[in-house]
Structure 1
Amino acid sequence: MARGNRQDNGARKPDMPTAKLTKENLREALLIFSYVKPYRWTFITGLLFIALSSGTTMAFPYFLKRLIDSAHSLSLGKEAVAPGTIALWMLGILIMQMIFSFMRVYLFSYVGEYALADMRKDVYRKMIMMSMNFFAQRRVGELSSRISADLSQIQEAVTGMLAEILRGLLTLVIGMGLILYLSRSLTLVMLSVVPVIVVAGVVFGRKIRKLSRHTQDQLADSNTIVQETLQGIGNVKAFTNEWYEIGRYTKSLQQVVKLAVSNGRFRGFFVSFILMSIFGTIILVVWYGTTLVQAGTLSFGDLTAFVVYTAFVGGSMAGFADLYTQLQKTLGATQRVREILRDDTEPVAVTDEPVAEINKLHGAVRFEHVAFSYPSRKEVHILKDVSISAAPGEQIAIVGPSGAGKSTIAALLLRFYQPDEGKLLFDGRPADDIPLSQLRKQMALVPQDVLLFGGTIRENIAYGKPGATQAEIEAAARKANAHDFIVGFSEGYDTVVGERGVKLSGGQRQRIAIARAILKDPVILVLDEATSSLDSASESLVQEALDNLMKNRTSFVIAHRLSTIRNADKIVVLDKGHVVESGTHQELLSHDDGLYKSLNKLQLEWTSEES
């Protein structure tokens, strides 16, 4: 909308690095549990099944010990529980473990999906209600990443990672207790290797995290190239730069591959070292354990159980390295989502309530000594002491050279931004006294670059009045000169327009936008160069539709083609942020040295040359 701020729309905040484990970050992570709270009993039940699952898992080696010792005792002619009975006990434990594991996964998935759906709705609601300044300083891809990639990372944490951390901790604690109970001397041998594994995990982990972060950043840059290329595919093809863009994307991907391979190399070293350490420890434990079995201080069953418990403990320790990395990513994602949810710099004042009688407008609008600079470029003064007034039902045309501040007037009318100085009044009331949603419900915008949503023509017209009947939609389309071309499609009003309306011509998209505005039946209408990009044939149809739309409505027409606003009640000429002239078409042409007369002359000369 506001051209004065378009060059800032590409500004992008740098991706946050993976978050470190600090008290502050952990407190931030409690955001997750605020969404889990409505499902707390399901969550607590899931925790119970984690404990039961871990308990049955750790019970298995104990019964394996009993089975081996029973077989050994019977071979020596001693009394013992029958191995078949112990095997049945073990089968029962496996069945229980299967049930507990199923319930654990199911309950945590249930809580995670519902909690994250609630969080997605809150993030989307927060983003969509932010002011235009919020969107002017962020890329669409960045915001999409917040609601997709970051929330998916949090979702994985709730549904899987959290359960794995708790299960790993229980396995570690129970396992350590049991191996200490079975043999303190073997436990000391096993633990002697732990410091080496921890130090290696820290060193390799830091390097792997750094490379992973660089890989993610480079991949994000590659995705940005794809997004920008596809959005501007017309320019790419017009300049025959397909191979240039392919080369640019290929170069970026090569960097991704290079970083990913380096990351894979370090991960390979790390995994190999961990596996060697774990299995080396098991070999050491088994060798030392056999000496204890030979000495008669340890049974063969105890040694078997100790080895299995050691594997469980070692597996838990090895798993914590990956879980730690995942936890850091989740904390980083939580910080970014929390940043949006906690952003209180922009007012959220939009409601879905119908327009109250006290807020119904008659259409009088007045700018009183308005000055404005875009928040991202405060040093550039777009409007300076601008005063404009419109009576109910008047057509006000805003003209002037590029960069004069025309579209900024439209942005302020729609209250996308607030004036830095001066007042904006509706029916004599300050704009701030009228709730934002109540004001915008009585206004409509027809922009130069019409954005149609990817649904049907019917859905796009009905966007002006959700819930409108087919008769209302068709009546609006007829007034917009759109009905004839719509019924010419094989699917009529159910024709899918494609992404951003790509299946329709510029004139067709413009007339659908006009039908949308007619259906809304606004009191105040804003037309932002609605015909400037159309050919003469399309312009004639669109202009007729606009004339129908502007009847009995206060209209602000931002015009590039002066021929379209000759019948305006008042023409306001802007130059360098100032109102330099004001009057009717004939009045302004009578000013010999006036800017309007000069612009009109230039357009007439250009038109004659074209013809």
Structure 2
Amino acid sequence: MQSISSLKFLKPYLQKQKIKVLIMLISLAVTSSSILVFSRYLSYVIDNFFSNSLNPEFLKFFIFQNALILLLAIGTAARYYFTASIGENVASNIKKDMFAHSMWLSPAYFEVNKTGDILSQIQNDTLIIQNLIGSNMSVALRNLVMFLGAGVMLVSMSSKLTLFIVVLTPIIVIPIIIFGRKIKKLSKESQIQQGLLTSVCEESIHSIKTIQSYCSERSEIDKCQASIQSGLTTSLRLARARALLTFAVIFLIFCGVGLILWYGGYDVVNGQMSPGELSSFVFLAVVCAGSIGGLAEISGEIIKSAVACERAAAFLELKPDIKELPNALDLHNTRFKDIEFRNVSFSYPSKKDIFVLKNLSFTIKANEKIAIVGKSGAGKSTILQLLMRFYDVDNGEILFNNIALKNANIKSLRGKFAYIPQDPTIFSGTIYDNILFGNPQANYDEVINAAKIAAVDEFASKLPHRYNSFVGQKGIMLSGGQKQRIALARAILKNSEILLLDEATSSLDYENEAIVKEAISIVSKNRVTITVAHRLSTVINADRIFVISDGGLVEEGSHQELIANHGPYFNLISLGNIL
């Protein structure tokens, strides 16, 4: 039951809803008090009116009874609305915080954690928390108040009969503790499996074309079904544990109520209690027993919610690997002069023992057009990742205008770069929205101008809704060339000093490549351009070509110089690594 302490995670979120929480607690007090008062009313009615139906006071108490029922109905409705409202608001705020936090985490985190697990935490864990606050917590508080209130009234009516309840309580609590521990373990396992299932489904749906092209539908279905079956097995074990807990508690509770009724009957016969008092006592005993049963039944849900809170709190406590110094230098108003890699060595977090770059050194000056070539896996794309400080180097240093990247403000540093990968990210939305992503403050004319420079207008103007045309999930309705042009227009709109191209034309046909290359040549004027490429047509006009092999710089120079050297660059071309 230790994980119950994890519920303190909800405190700051509940404090934002304190007015609603106060109204909910008042409603809870009203409903609980109404039921407890009804027990005394029941005793009075049985003792005073069942024997004399013509008692003139009967109408007054009938009105009191209906007023009490009305108060109970109003209080219950208010409690339901405000607990539901609190639950919705708290869950929404947690979702917002978790998603916002995920946006600040370093790429290294997503390298070793599955997207499905993160989505599961944001969706499923917050739903569990919502159910806790919007329903289960309110029911638990109501049962606790009813148990305590009924217990006090029972002691005042008959300490002898109350003793039976005191003896029964530990017998009920012991199964709660035993089953509660098992339920906690199974709840955590169930939530982990739910995250794995989400990950499997998300990956399969995202890769549907590849799956169908390899006729692998059945293997993916089997994989998903195996994950579902594993989750089902755990869920059934969890349901069985809860069912056994509920059975044990209800059986023990109502056996105790029967014992109270049997033993209390002797007190009525002996004149030590009136029938009304016994009826009231039994009513309160049932309320007390029902409250214990309700607490037992809901304890599993509370434990499950505590596990969800524990996971959410742990996620929100994650710190980005890329940290910004308190006195980081702002580069926004700094004109680019040079970039220097000084003896840089780097390995990815998921493969710390394999160095992708080894003692790499080079310098890039203003307005230079640089091409980076080499075999696959040589570390070319990694250079671009390090420039934008998605990762920190293991050894050595990267300098921007003689300022170490770790000393620069991260946002201002990344603002210096416009990045176009081989497979550009296209968001679900319109062509216009995707271009505007490069600079959300840009006006309509600026967006259209960027689109024309990048040759987006060539295909967008032919669509029924032009720039307001929907591109589908991840741009599924666009061709590779169209995606690249939109990505280029986005980069143009960003208007950064340095253009980073990571195999930006390698997957295009020659017609689209020619269109994109022409657009790039226009954009790259008066800008530094760093291009990772395998195509000769992309690198031939570069001012300098860096040849990377086994993580190090083995050769540099212009195309003509390197060809004349008959070195590694010449060999790459001869072997077809540069076409």
- How high is the TM-score relative to the length of structure 2? 0.93
Distance 1:207 1:364 in 2: 61
Q: Partner residue of 1:67?
A: 45
The Cα shift of 1:525 comes to 0.9
For the 8 Å contact 2:563–2:570, the answer to whether it is kept is yes
Q: Partner residue of 1:8?
A: none
Do the aligned partners of residues 412 and 254 (structure 1) sit closer, same or farther apart at CA in structure 2, a change above 3 Å counting? closer
- Which of residues 2, 15, 28 is equivalent to 1:50? 28
In the alignment, structure 1 residue 484 sits paired with structure 2 residue 458: yes
Distance 1:350 1:147 in 2: 29
For the 8 Å contact 2:254–2:289, the answer to whether it is kept is no
Q: What secondary structure sits across from 2:360 in the alignment?
A: strand
Q: Partner residue of 1:373?
A: 347
1:356-415 residue CA offsets vs partner (Å, 9 max, x unmatched): 786333352222222222233222111112122222111111111111110110001111
Q: Partner residue of 1:32?
A: 10
- Which of residues 555, 561, 569 is equivalent to 1:596? 569
For the 8 Å contact 2:325–2:407, the answer to whether it is kept is no
In the alignment, structure 1 residue 529 sits paired with structure 2 residue 503: yes
Q: Partner residue of 2:559?
A: 585
1:271-310 residue CA offsets vs partner (Å, 9 max, x unmatched): 3343333333333222222222222221111122112211
Matches within 5 A, 1:383-394: 383-394=357-368
- Which of residues 155, 161, 170 is equivalent to 1:180? 155
- Which of residues 170, 176, 182 is equivalent to 1:201? 176
Distance 1:132 1:190 in 2: 58
Q: Partner residue of 2:413?
A: 439
In the alignment, structure 1 residue 475 sits paired with structure 2 residue 446: no
Q: Partner residue of 1:119?
A: 94
Q: Partner residue of 2:266?
A: 291
Q: What secondary structure sits across from 1:526 in the alignment?
A: strand
Distance 1:225 1:483 in 2: 38
The Cα shift of 1:518 comes to 0.6
In structure 1, the gaps of 5 or more residues are 1-19
The Cα shift of 1:191 comes to 4.0
Distance 2:401 2:185 in 1: 59
Moved more, 294-303 or 183-192: 183-192
Give RMSD over aligned pairs. 2.6
The Cα shift of 1:142 comes to 1.6
Q: Partner residue of 2:252?
A: 277
**Aligned sequence identity (%):** 33
In the alignment, structure 1 residue 427 sits paired with structure 2 residue 401: yes
Distance 1:30 1:214 in 2: 22
One-letter amino acid of the structure 2 residue matched with residue 595 of structure 1: P
Q: Partner residue of 2:389?
A: 415
For the 8 Å contact 1:70–1:81, the answer to whether it is kept is no
Distance 1:97 1:567 in 2: 83
One-letter amino acid of the structure 2 residue matched with residue 434 of structure 1: A
Aligned pairs, number: 578
The Cα shift of 1:573 comes to 0.4
Distance 2:344 2:526 in 1: 27
Distance 1:378 1:429 in 2: 26
Do the aligned partners of residues 491 and 280 (structure 1) sit closer, same or farther apart at CA in structure 2, a change above 3 Å counting? same
In the alignment, structure 1 residue 83 sits paired with structure 2 residue 58: yes
For the 8 Å contact 1:445–1:525, the answer to whether it is kept is yes
1:305-348 residue CA offsets vs partner (Å, 9 max, x unmatched): 11221111111111112332222222222222222322235356
Q: What secondary structure sits across from 1:603 in the alignment?
A: coil
Matches within 5 A, 1:118-517: 118-344=93-319, 346-347=321-322, 349=324, 359-517=333-491
Distance 1:375 1:42 in 2: 46
In structure 2, the gaps of 5 or more residues are none
For the 8 Å contact 1:54–1:170, the answer to whether it is kept is yes
Do the aligned partners of residues 498 and 469 (structure 1) sit closer, same or farther apart at CA in structure 2, a change above 3 Å counting? same
